Amino acid sequence: MNIKLLKQRIYFQIFRITTASVILFLFLMIWTFISNGIGVIDWTFLTDIPRRGMTEGGIFPAIVGTIYLTLGAVAFALPVGVASAIYLVEYAHEGRLLRMINSAIINLAGVPSIVHGLFGFGLFVIFLNLGTSILSGSLTLFLMILPIVISASREALLSVPKSFREGSLALGASKWQTIRHNVLPYALPGILTGTILAVARAAGETAPIILTAAFFFRPTLPKSMLDGTMALASHIYYMATQHPNIALVRPLTYGSVLVLLGIVLSLNLVAIVIRTRHRRRKNW
């Protein structure tokens, strides 16, 4: 009996140490970004354009570019995603069509981002002649985040109890009135969580942006959806591998990494917080 428990204790300790080391390793990684990057981040870095061949100045155009690209993607993905989820949960009947839509969503989520990128390059940039532009990039990112928005919205709608719908229908409301006033409001926190996660994903995507929207250097802000742009994620890649003087710009690169990491992790954190708070408050 004692040997049994000793064995158990040893195994559990090994598991604990393994888990702790992986977490520690990752914190170490994040710490190298913080300690190397925090020094260059100041007001000028965040609001100035890059100067002297990107060896000085800031990353404002890249931040703006990332915001435009993600907002563009969400502007497409949110209406289409929520509408798809409403159809799947509230209207669709079991059958071949439902199965087809489901497997399409799963496949869309499984396609590697670079394949989306090459598709976006071939279709939007070249075939539809939209060029290397925010519109091409947003459309490509839209395809990538659509499955995230659909799955999250579907989960949220499914978690609204059936009785909410029945009560409304029994009072004579139509199906759409029921969904609009008695289902959607309660699914909203879940939909919001999914959308925030999708924004975070889109902001960090790099390969598709490089092929469809990003410029190595473009200090002026984009004036229309058909302009190309700098973006944070692609900027990090270019500064780390393509810049003529990689060693000289390394501190600035650390700064850009820290800004991107800060944006993406805080979005994720907000999503987690909304979800846990909503879960706690829910008492139907």
Partner 1 sequence: MEENWAKKIRGLNLKEFLIEKLLFASATISIIVVILIFFFLFSQGALAFREISIPDFLFGQSWQPTSVIKPEFGAVPLVYGTMVVTFIAMAISVPIGIIIAVYIAEVANPIEKEILKPIVELLAGVPSVVYGFFALVTLAAWIQQLTGTNSRLNALNGGIVLAIMVIPTIVSLAEDAITSVPREYREGSMALGASKWETIRNVVLPSAAPGILAATLLGFGRAVGETMAVLMATGNATIVNFNILDSVRTMTATIVIETPEVAFGSLHYHALFAVAVFLFAITFAFNYLAGVVMRRFRRTGR
- Number of residues lying near partner 1 (CB under 8 A): 82
Counting contacts by CB under 8 A, is residue 248 touching partner 1?
A: no
Restricting to residues 136-165, name those near partner 1 by CB under 8 A: 143, 146-147, 150
Q: Among 71, 75, 115, 128, which residue sits at the site for partner 1 (rule: CB under 8 A)?
A: 115
Task: Tell me the closest approach of the beta carbon of residue 245 to partner 1, in angstroms.
Answer: 15
Q: Which is nearer to partner 1, 159 or 268 (CB)?
A: 268
- Partner residues linked to 214 by β-bridges: 229
Query: Residue holding tokens 């800031």?
Result: 58
Counting contacts by CB under 8 A, is residue 257 touching partner 1?
A: yes
Contacts of 239 (CB under 8 A, 6+ apart): 54, 246, 249, 252, 253, 256
Task: Tell me the closest approach of the beta carbon of residue 124 to partner 1, in angstroms.
Answer: 11
Q: Among 200, 213, 230, 249, which residue sits at the site for partner 1 (rule: CB under 8 A)?
A: 200
Q: How far, rounded to the nearest angstrom, does the alpha carbon of residue 237 sit from its chain's CA centroid?
A: 18
Q: Among 45, 60, 68, 121, which residue sits at the site for partner 1 (rule: CB under 8 A)?
A: 121
Residue 134 has which token pair? 């925010």
Residue 232: name the closest of 223, 240, 117 by CA: 240
Counting contacts by CB under 8 A, is residue 7 touching partner 1?
A: yes
Residue 172 has which token pair? 């004579």
Q: Among 57, 250, 270, 278, which residue sits at the site for partner 1 (rule: CB under 8 A)?
A: 250
Counting contacts by CB under 8 A, is residue 128 touching partner 1?
A: no
Q: How many CB atoms lie within 10 A of CB 240?
A: 15
Residue 142: name the closest of 116, 122, 118 by CA: 116
Task: Tell me the closest approach of the beta carbon of residue 48 to partner 1, in angstroms.
Answer: 22
Counting contacts by CB under 8 A, is residue 269 touching partner 1?
A: yes
Task: Tell me the closest approach of the beta carbon of residue 101 to partner 1, in angstroms.
Answer: 6
| Cβ pair 195, 142 in contact under 8 A | no
Counting contacts by CB under 8 A, is residue 189 touching partner 1?
A: no
Restricting to residues 33-52, name those near partner 1 by CB under 8 A: 33
The per-type count for the chain, helices as H runs and strands as E runs, is 12, 2
Counting contacts by CB under 8 A, is residue 217 touching partner 1?
A: no
Q: Among 32, 44, 47, 55, which residue sits at the site for partner 1 (rule: CB under 8 A)?
A: 32
Segment near partner 1 (CB under 8 A); pick from 28-36, 40-48, 156-164, 185-193: 28-36
Give the CA count within 13 Å in the CB-facing half-sphere of 25: 6
R_g of the chain computed on alpha carbons? 23
Segment near partner 1 (CB under 8 A); pick from 57-65, 184-192, 202-210, 220-228: 202-210
Segment near partner 1 (CB under 8 A); pick from 47-55, 164-172, 184-192, 249-257: 249-257
Counting contacts by CB under 8 A, is residue 176 touching partner 1?
A: yes
- Angle between the 134-158 and 96-110 helix axes, to the nearest 10 degrees? 130
Counting contacts by CB under 8 A, is residue 199 touching partner 1?
A: no
Contacts of 149 (CB under 8 A, 6+ apart): 77, 78, 80, 81, 82, 85, 191, 194, 195, 198
Please tell me what DSSP assigns to residue 49.
P
Task: Tell me the closest approach of the beta carbon of residue 164 to partner 1, in angstroms.
Answer: 19
